[in-house]
Structures are given as C-alpha cells and as structure tokens.
Amino acid sequence: MQSLVLAVQQFPVELWKIVFILCLHDEEFVTPSSLSAPLLLCQVCHSWRDLALSTPQLWASLSISRFDEGEGCFPRAELADLWLSRSSNLPLSISFGPDTLFDYVEGDDDVKSMMDVILPTLPRWRNASLCFADLTPGNVDAIPEEGAQCLEKLTLLLPALPGEFYGESFDVGYLAPSVRYLTGMSPKLCNFEIFTNYQGFENVRWSKGIPIIWSQLTTLTLMNRMFFWEGLDILHQCINLVECDFSLIEGYYGIPNYSTKVAQLPILQSLSLAFEKNDVGVFPTPMEIFLDCLHAPALRKLCLTVNGLWSQDSYTSFISRSNCIIESLSLTAMSISSSQFLNCLDLLNTSLVEFKVFGLHSSSKFITNVILDRLSYSASDSTPDHSNILPRLEVLELSSCVLNAEDGRIGDMIESRSVPVADPTNERTFGTLRSVRLNLKKEHWKLYPKDVELLESLNGNMDIFIDYNEH
C-alpha cells in the first residue's frame, strides 16, 4: 500500500491535470455543483484543491441559471466572477438565462449585476447562450471595444413576453443594440441559433437588424416563425452550411416577389425543415416552394415535418435534383398516403441506414401490410411489386403512428431482419436491424398481441424498445 501511495504522489502534475479535465461532465456548459467537477475535486484534499484552482480548463465553462418568480441567479454574481477569474485567458463557454423559455421573469435585479460580470469577458467568449430580453440597454452598460473576437457559436433565447416589451416593429437595434455588436464584431461566428416561444417574433423583424456574415456560417438553427421566402433568402447567402434546422410557417398574404432561383448548398449534410399547415385551397404549399428551390448534393440526413399537405412531386424532384445519398430520414407527416410513403423509401432504397417515422394524428395510418411486406426480407420475393427494400437499414423507429396492418406483420418483418442474410441478387449481406423503437398507444398495442409476443422474444437478438404510451 505504501508503494502505491508513493507512486501516486510521484504522478506528474501535468497528467493529474489531464485526469481532472476528463472528470468534467460532457456538457456544453458546466453547472456548478459540489457533487461534480470542478468543485468536487476541490473538496478532496489541499493538494487537489490547489491543483484544481491552478487548472484554468476546469473553469472555462459556466452555466448561469435564472430562477422563476424573481428568485435571482445561480451562481450569484460574485461567485460567477470568482469562477471565471480562475479560467486565466482561455476561451470561454457561457450560458446565462432561464432553464426554459417558459421560466423567464422580467425585472430581476440580479440580471444587471450578472451582466457586469460576464460582459467584460466578451473578447474571450467562444460559445455563448443568452436571453435576448436580458440584453436591453437597461442591463448592459457597455460592450468591450474588441467585440467577440473568439465567438464561434451564439444562441439567442427569446421568451414570450407581453407585446409592449417587444413592440409592434420588433426593432432589434433599438431593443437590444448589444446583440448587433455580438454578431457584427464576431469574425469567427460559424454557428448561430435562435429559439423562441413568442409567436409575434418573425424572421423579417430581426434578420434586417442583426448583422451576420451568412456565408461564414456552417450551422444555422432558427426555431422561430418565418415565411418561406425569408428562409430561402437566407439560404441563398449560406453557401457554406453543413447543418441547417428551420421551423417554417406559410405566409400567403402580401407575398413579395420571392426568387425561385435554386439555393446552392454544396456541402450541406444535415437538413431539418418543419412546414406549418397551409391554408385550405392555397397552392403551391410551403413544402413545394421550399424544396423546389434547394440543391444539396452532399446531404446525408433529412428530417421533414409536414403539418399540411404532403407534396410527393417536390420531395421526389428535390432528391433527384440533389442526387444525394441520404443515410438518415425522419418523417413527421399527417397527410402522407401509403403509396407516397412507399415512394419515399424507394427513392432512398440503397442508401438508407436510419429511418424514423412520427405520426401527428390518428389519421396517420400509412404503415400497411404492403409497406411491411416490402420491408421484410424474403429470398423468394422476386417480383418488382414485392422486392425487398432498404437493404442497409439498421435503425428503425415508429412513433405515434397507427398501424394499419394485420397482427403479426410488424413482428415478422423485424424477425426477418434480425440476422444477416446473404442477398443472392447482388452477393452482399442484407441489412441487419440493430435498434428498433416502437412508441404507440397502449390501447393500440392491445390489438396486436402476436406482434408484442414476437418482439419481446426477439429483444435478446437486437435492441428493441416497446413504449406502451398511455396517451
């Protein structure tokens, strides 16, 4: 034992620091807690405390929470100042805001005190998540002249507040001029996000007021209401996007003369689009217009949420025009038919590895016998109408859908893909499912006792999760 203690004592300080850094939780921002690093390390002994305090990497990330009902911030401003002072001159990751958009409370006196602590460190920010309502002139005295020279990622939260707070025009330059400095003086900004539950916040009101070099962005997430032509206008400028996540809404009244020029996104790999329900009898739909104006040859992951009418022609033309190899597809659709659903799979037949389907309504009954038969592997199937599809499929998720198939069909399909099978037509292995997640209503599962029994018996051969949803 004594020799072991001696060996530990002789362990190089540099290696101890590496071990300490590896003790940090794998999170974007570190939440101070006496039960986790770095504070936990400071409680072990004097030598560990001294070592932790002299390791700036342990203090270069901080999550500051705002409590509801005006209960202040955690940690307090003086403790946040002490934490950040230990980070030396390292780039910082700072989050300051409510835990959720619904927890925001106006008029917290601690906000200005916290801003006085974190804003002087702005030149060192690399990743920042801030609440727009906290960046108003009343809370921000001055912005360092150097700007955010190191800032690579910026997340803005816009909580739903009374209309008089934002005003009718939502003038960003007037409400929070400091936001303009954050984006306008950030030469390295490549990841920009907006999250809001304020229904009056629309893209047209902020995109003109926040200076962003769109061409240098590689990741863009806009979870706010926007009209489709505004989204297209932004994408025409984002030629270097790798990941894009948009929440869209139709805007048929007063539509400007939007460009139908195709937006070229040569290196885009992940695209997520949510289309809101369009007005009855109004065509073309947002999905049609948007997909008809995109070209993404490097696309690998596609997520589509369509609350309105599904446009098969636009989907088909987008995939064909882009000539991309989609490996992951997520569909959330209300009005898609079984034949359209099958066509979506046929287009990606040889490339799809991950497939997720989410229904939005009790009318989402596109999982039929025909679909399950085509997904089932059978060496005897040779006719075009019943040929096997998705030979590379490894991950399957069906959630909130209504099965429109006979009892036992989905279990048979999954069992047929539970072991590698040699495909005699091309001498390669037919894909084996690694993970299956089925999330359906409990009352719905009662109609499929054979499926439930078979799936539970297969759970040892693959990762199968059956969620007996009560709702």
Q: Do the domain assignments include residue 27?
A: no
pLDDT of residue 278: 65
pLDDT of residue 334: 67
The closest of 290, 250, 245 to 268, measured between CA atoms, is 245
Measured distance CA(36)–CA(61) in Å, rounded: 14
Q: Are 130 and 105 in contact (CB under 8 A)?
A: no
- The pLDDT-based confidence of 283 (bands split at 50, 70, 90) is low
Q: Do the domain assignments include residue 437?
A: yes
Name the residue with tokens 């040929």: 387
Q: How many CB atoms lie within 10 A of CB 463?
A: 11
| 3 state SS of 249 | strand
| 3 state SS of 302 | strand
Q: Do the domain assignments include residue 331?
A: yes
pLDDT of residue 424: 54
Of all helices (H) and strands (E), which one includes residue 372?
A: helix 369-375
116-122 contacts, C-beta under 8 A, 24 or more apart: 116/77, 116/141, 117/77, 117/80, 117/81, 117/84, 118/64, 118/80, 118/84, 118/94, 119/143, 119/144, 120/144, 121/84, 121/92, 121/94, 122/146, 122/147, 122/148, 122/182
pLDDT of residue 383: 46
**Total domain count, the chain:** 1
Q: How many helices (H) and strands (E) does the chain have?
A: 17, 21
Q: Do the domain assignments include residue 55?
A: no
Name the residue with tokens 């439930």: 452
Name the residue with tokens 């051969």: 461
- The pLDDT-based confidence of 433 (bands split at 50, 70, 90) is confident
Residue 85 has pLDDT above 80, yes or no: yes
Q: Do the domain assignments include residue 30?
A: no
Of all helices (H) and strands (E), which one includes residue 9?
A: helix 2-9
CATH code: domain of residue 404: 3.80.10
Measured distance CA(110)–CA(272) in Å, rounded: 37
Q: Do the domain assignments include residue 405?
A: yes
The closest of 366, 406, 369 to 386, measured between CA atoms, is 369
Measured distance CA(145)–CA(322) in Å, rounded: 44
Q: Do the domain assignments include residue 69?
A: no
Per-residue model confidence as pLDDT tens digits over 226-270: 878 888 889 999 999 999 999 866 655 455 566 678 999 999 999
Query: Rounded mean pLDDT of the chain?
Result: 82
Measured distance CA(395)–CA(436) in Å, rounded: 6
Rounded mean pLDDT, 314-320? 94
C-alpha distances in Å from residue 98, one per residue of 31, 111, 177, 310, 451? 13, 11, 21, 37, 44
Domain that holds residue 123: 91-469
Query: pTM here?
Result: 0.88
Side chain identity, residue 46: H
Per DSSP, 277 falls in state P
Q: Do the domain assignments include residue 237?
A: yes
Residue 326 has pLDDT above 90, yes or no: yes
The closest of 35, 34, 40, 39 to 59, measured between CA atoms, is 39
Rounded mean pLDDT, 390-397? 91
Q: How many CB atoms lie within 10 A of CB 173?
A: 13
Of all helices (H) and strands (E), which one includes residue 118?
A: helix 110-118
pLDDT of residue 428: 47
